[in-house]
Amino acid sequence: MHLDFNSIRRDKARVVATSFLLFLCTVAHSQTPVPTADLTGLSDPPGLSRFAGSVLVYRNDSAYDEVKLPVSKTANVDGKVVAPKTLDRAGQRAALQCITPAGKSALEVLRNYQQATKPAGFETVYECAGDGCGRTPDISRYYFAALVMPESYWASVGDRTPAYCGGSQRIGDFRYAVFDNKTTGATLAVMTWRPGDVSSYCVESDYKSRASVFVVSIQPKAREQLMEMLTASEMGQSLTATGKVAVYGILFDTNKAEIKAESKASLDQIGALLKQQESLKLHVVGHTDNVGNLPANLDLSKRRADAVAAALRRDYGITRDRLTANGVGSLAPVASNASDAGRAKNRRVELVLQ
């Protein structure tokens, strides 16, 4: 039997070429274009207008959230982006992303937001562009955008959505500003850019011809007190029954370990319990939600536990040998971290019998 190796090689080449063409056709067919209307289920928050002709491709709300908006040039320290100065706000938060009509520059978009908010009493408290903002090559969790977008953004947009396509790498014409209303307490952050290298799942020419804009709005609102404060007696009963008790009335600002003044009532009850039961020894255990990376959360939870133990020693005369501080970060959740309510339950201090 005679084998025609040249023929075999040609057949293999045709198969490879055909497969590659089929792949290209499949990718082209499944590419995501710029939508012509707001994505299903999305709408503007009350009282917040957008750039004319733009389409809404992402929205995420929180009934109560704390944000730290950069108001200085950022830097990357040990692979993490940090801002030396921030404007800290807490309240009802809305975050949304739009894609503007073709041909609009990021500067034009930013100036329109600036002009539209001024009559309502907003003042520009910070503005930057490009390298003046810090490192802004990509819309990713490793650069400037990570300080403005919710942490949940990166997991929710996938790699084929208009929001993801409008992000991209090697972006250009980056602009950012923070507008603050001293009368109402409301704050607005606007971040806008021109997409660069987009995913192969996106119609690149569509997105590169349009500016993307991301807006974070914070409206002042009191935090709902959903967790009842436990009395010293109730804490003691829980410790006897289960060996531990979760305390939700000890509060901290986001990413900080300084105890807030509103925590005094719960600290009073813990102090009373320890004075009533003089032989009681406790582990003070800090817990966080899963926002951020695990090493940072482990460190934060330990520092918060240390702060609680220090406050009980300093203000209530509890001896050092009765309290041991530990932090477990997000490793022991009591609810799903997929919702605001679940994350709130996971952020707690627990007292555990030694």
- 127-130 long-range Cβ contacts below 8 angstroms, 24+ apart: 127/175, 127/176, 127/177, 127/178, 128/73, 128/175, 128/176, 128/177, 129/174, 129/175, 129/176, 130/173, 130/174
Interval 99-124 mean pLDDT? 96
11's tokens: 């057949």
pLDDT at 240: 92
158's tokens: 């996938």
- 235 vs 224, higher pLDDT: 235
- The band of 9, judged by pLDDT with boundaries at 50, 70 and 90, is low
Interval 153-173 mean pLDDT? 91
Q: What are phi and psi of 193, to 5 degrees?
A: -160, 170
- Give the N- to C-terminal CA distance of the chain in Å, as an integer: 83
Three-class SS state of 32: strand
- The band of 22, judged by pLDDT with boundaries at 50, 70 and 90, is very low
Are 145 and 176 spatial neighbours (Cβ–Cβ below 8 Å)? no
Domain-wise residue ranges, the chain: 30-219, 232-353
94's tokens: 């809305």
Please choose, from the candidates 337, 350, 342, 346, the residue with its C-alpha nearest in 3D space to the C-alpha of residue 156. Answer: 337
CA angle 39, 32, 204 (to 5 degrees): 120
pLDDT digits (tens, 9 = 90+) for 129-150: 999 999 899 999 889 999 999 9
Please choose, from the candidates 339, 353, 176, the residue with its C-alpha nearest in 3D space to the C-alpha of residue 277. Answer: 353
Whole-number average pLDDT of the chain: 89
Interval 17-28 mean pLDDT? 46
pLDDT digits (tens, 9 = 90+) for 30-77: 899 999 999 999 999 988 889 999 999 999 998 888 899 999 999 988
Fold of domain 232-353: 60s Ribosomal Protein L30; Chain: A; (3.30.1330)
Query: What's the pTM?
Result: 0.62
Please choose, from the candidates 274, 268, 251, the residue with its C-alpha nearest in 3D space to the C-alpha of residue 354. Answer: 274
Identify the H or E element spanning 345: helix 340-346
Is the confidence at residue 28, as pLDDT, over 50?
no
* DSSP 8-state class, residue 334: S
- The band of 202, judged by pLDDT with boundaries at 50, 70 and 90, is very high
Are 93 and 61 spatial neighbours (Cβ–Cβ below 8 Å)? yes
